[in-house]
Each structure stands twice: as C-alpha cells, then as structure tokens.
Amino acid sequence: MTDGAFAPTIGLSRCTWARGLFACVSLVVIAAAMIYGYEQTACAVTLRIDDEVTSLHTHQRTVGALLREHGVVLGPRDLLVPAGDKVLEPGMTIAIRRPRQVWIEADGRAFAHMTHSSTVGEVLREAGIDLPAGDRVLVESRPASAGTALPSSRSPSSRGEPGRVDAAALELVRLRVERALPFVVHDSGTQLEIRTTAKSVGQALWDAGIAVFLGDTVTPDLDQPLTAGMHVHIYRSLPIAIVADGRVIKTRTQGATVADALRQEGIQLGGKDYCEPSPSALLRPDLRIRVVRVTEEWRVDSETLPYETRWEADPNLEIDHQRIAQRGQEGSRKWLYRVTYEDGKVVSQVLEREWVAQEPQTRILVYGTKIVLREIQTPDGVKRYWRHLRVLASSYTAATSGKEPGHPAYGITRLGWWATKGIIAVDPTVIPLRTNMYIPGYGIGVAGDTGSAIKGRRIDLCYDENNLVLWWKWVDIYLLEPVPPVSQITWTLPNWPIER
C-alpha cells in the first residue's frame, strides 16, 4: 500500500480532534460564567458569634436559613439579632450572643449559672445573692467588686469551620463570695464596728486602714484568727524621741514617765548624769528627751619657777677666774582643777588647790678678787700688768669720730684730751678711765675716751690723721699698774661681743 492511500484518513482524524477540543473549552467557559454569575448574585453578610466574626456569601433568603446552611445551632438562652425570620440584606450583620457559664460559690453552695450579664454585680443579682458592704467577691481568685466586668475571653471549638461554635466549650468563669464577719475595735476610747473577710486580727485591722505601730499593744494578738463579734482592743503607744550618747532614738512607748521611756530603751543615768525633762515628768506625744552624760576629771597644771643666780667674791681666787659653788635648779608651782564635762564639752573648771611642788635652788657663782701682778716684755721695756683681757679692737681719728671740724668738741675725748695716738676709747664699766694698758701691735696707751658703739669687750684705738692704721680684730690687751681702787674694778666682765 502506498503512502498516498492513508492521507485522507489522517486529515479526517485531525479535524475531529479539533472539534472536540473546542467543545470542551466552550463547556468550561460556560461553567465559569455560570459560577461567576452565581457568586455575583449571592448576598454578602457578617456573622458575629460572641467575639468571633465571619464574612459569608449566601443565596438563602432569611437569617434562620443562613444559620441552618452553616450548621449554627441556637441554644435555649442564645440571643439572636435580628430574628430568624428576618429577610437577609446585603451588608447585614447577624449577631449571636451565647450565655456565659459562671460557677458561683456562696453561702455554702456551689452551682453553675448561665448569664448574658457583663458585670459581677449583675450576675449575683440574677442568682439572688446579696453583696453587703464588707463582703468580698473573687473572680478567678482575684479580688473584684460589683462593677468588675466578667472576663471576655472565649474558647470556641470552631477552628477551621466558620460559624460553628460549641456552647459547651465556652470558658467557665469562677466567682466566689466571701462573707464578712462583724467585729468591734476599741481604739483610744473610740469604738468602731467593722465587717471584714480577713482571717486574722492583724489583717482585719490592716484592711480597715487602722495602723498599728511598734509599741502599740493589741489584744487579742495580731495573728489570732478573727471570729464574728470579736472585740479587739488597741492600747496606743506615744511617739517620742530620745537624744542620748550621740544618737537620736525615735521610738514609741506605753510608759507614763520619762523614766519609763528610758528604761524601755535600756538607757541608764549614772553618777551625775541627768535628763531633760526630769525622770518623773509625764510623757506626752512627740516629747523630746535629752540625756546629758556628766563626767569629771582632775587636771594638774604647772609652771616652772626659774632659779636665781647669786655672785659671791672669793679673795683667794685670782681675778677673772670663776667657779660654780652651787648649781641652780628650777622649781615648779602646781594647780589642781576639777573639770566637769557634759556630753564631752567642758562646762566648768574649779581650782581646788595651789602649791609650790618644788622650791627653786639658787645658783651660786664665785668670782675671784685676788690681784696678781705679772710682767710682759714690750717695745718700751718690761711692764707689770694686773689684768689680761681679750677684746675686739677697732681704730679711729678725730675726723672719723662723728663731729665736723667746726664743731666745738671736734677732736676732744671724753676726758677733754686731744684725740691723738695713745688715746684708747673703752667701756668705762669694763676698763676704768685713765687706766694704762699695753696693746700688742699698737703700743702703750691710756683709757681716755668712750664711744656709743664701744660697749663690753670693745676698744677703739686713736690715731693721728697721718698715721691711721685700720683695726678690726680680736687682740689680747694688758692693764698696767697702778691697780685702780677696788671700787673702780669690775670683777665680772660681760661676755660680749663673742669672738667667732
């Protein structure tokens, strides 16, 4: 058989297949159009069952038909708005409110109560249960009042299927009524009649806003169980403050006197301690008690009594020699005081006794008055001297004596002599005027002048204007005979200036 023999058959099959496909597509389009038209003609409504909201489309005519369509069964106490025979309208909201199941425990009974009320008070009134002042109501074990709203939560079993709610699965609300017990409070002469649900005396007073302070006494005790008609007595303590030993104690007491309050706090008055007010004073609210600690001590003050120095002459001891015949010793005078302290501060000191604890001992110095003549070799020959001194020597002329040449006393010495070489200025309390002396490096001279700066162991050597030699050094000098009268001799010489 040739290929051309099959050509008409193949062409016919393709044509038949195309007509079949077209017919199928046409049916699908017609079905979709019918579905679309059906949906477009459905009525859109909202179904609210308690707190659950569902959007629905329906061709039913009434509310009841819609509920049956979706399997929503109404209980005998369910509320439906609008009614079941109401004709559906686009955008309509259909509300179903299920009754709440409340488990009530009151007055020895426990029962379930179905309600549409939203507050605790309404539920109790429906159940015929009074709630007088003082009684306590608990919702789910939490304190509530008559105006407290019931919990709004639900536990629907319609998960995945809109509109299907099992009324038995609604959350159970538990409500318990606790009846208040009457009792009487006697507080500082005031009598109060109170109702409470508290279990103990202390909790009942706390709930009633009656403060009990540390120091107050309550009978029966605060931890005693409360019974109906019980009489509770409160014996109030007084608030006081005690200032003692550097601290302030704020406390309360039921004592009658200051002494009672101090005894309560373990504060004792010893010795000369005292308190303000006195221990016998009656207590009053907010009284401030001051405890004063009194201590005494004996204090001894002293001062040093200086000793005196007495000089005594010794004719057997050579001049300018000294010795200590008796050493001096300081004495002391003492005072005994009684010092009183209050809280560590001195408030008084009283002199109780004054005495000389030790008399000073006089120091006795002995100086020599024996004159011994000795010889010294000088440029002018051998000279005899009776005293040897070491002094600080300076030099001057008439021009350097401090007076101008026109002054009447210019160049005139203390003895009225003309100032020239050989005149020596001295301190006459150390070297008597007119005393002859030998000064190594200067020669023989005589004490014939004085000067305001020449004091103690100082001498000033006079020169003529044309032969001045400047001196400022320590030097040994020798006082030559004749020995002056005893009345003119200074036996103990000053020790200044001091050679350094």
Evaluate the omega torsion of the peptide bond into residue 277 and state whether it is cis, within 30 degrees of 0: yes
CA distance 63 to 87: 6
Q: Which residue has the tokens 């407290």?
A: 148
**Coil vs helix vs strand at 105:** strand
CA dihedral 253, 255, 260, 264 (to 10 degrees): -30
Structure tokens at 343: 């809280």
What would the DSSP string read from start to end of 406-466? TSTTTTB-TTS-B--TTEEE--TTTS-TT-EEEETTTEEEEEEE--TT--SSEEEEE--GG
Task: Please report the pLDDT score of residue 168 as a whole number.
Answer: 44
Nearest CA among 31, 35, 64, 30 for reference residue 47: 64
Task: Please report the pLDDT score of residue 312 as a whole number.
Answer: 96
Q: Which residue has the tokens 């709610």?
A: 165
C-alpha R_g of the chain = 67
Structure tokens at 405: 């040449």
Q: Which residue has the tokens 């030790």?
A: 358
Can you count the helices (H) and strands (E) in the chain? 5, 30
Q: What share of the chain is helix, strand, coil (3-state, %, to 5)?
A: 15, 45, 40
Q: Cα-flanking dihedrals φ and ψ of residue 443, to 5°? A: 115, -160
CA dihedral 35, 39, 40, 41 (to 10 degrees): 100
Task: Please report the pLDDT score of residue 2 as a whole number.
Answer: 42
H or E segment and range at residue 237: none
CA distance 235 to 187: 7
- For the chain (500 residues), the mean pLDDT of every run of 10, in chain order, is 42 55 64 58 86 88 89 86 87 88 89 88 89 86 88 52 47 87 90 90 91 90 92 93 96 95 95 96 96 96 96 96 96 97 96 96 97 96 97 96 90 95 97 98 97 96 96 98 95 93
Task: Please report the pLDDT score of residue 118 as a whole number.
Answer: 83
Beta bridge partners of 346: 341
Task: Please report the pLDDT score of residue 380 as a whole number.
Answer: 93
Q: Cα-flanking dihedrals φ and ψ of residue 193, to 5°? A: -100, 125
- Contact (CB, 8 A) for 288 and 241: yes
Domains and CATH numbers, the chain: 46-178 (3.10.20.90), 181-235 (3.10.20), 238-292 (3.10.20.90), 297-367 (2.20.230.10), 371-488 (2.40.40.10)
Q: Which residue has the tokens 């005494």?
A: 296
Task: Please report the pLDDT score of residue 238 as a whole number.
Answer: 94
Q: Which residues of 429-448 are buried (b: 16+ CB within 10 A; e: fewer)?
A: ebbbbebbbbbeebebbbbb
- Contact (CB, 8 A) for 243 and 260: no
Nearest CA among 356, 343, 453 for reference residue 396: 453
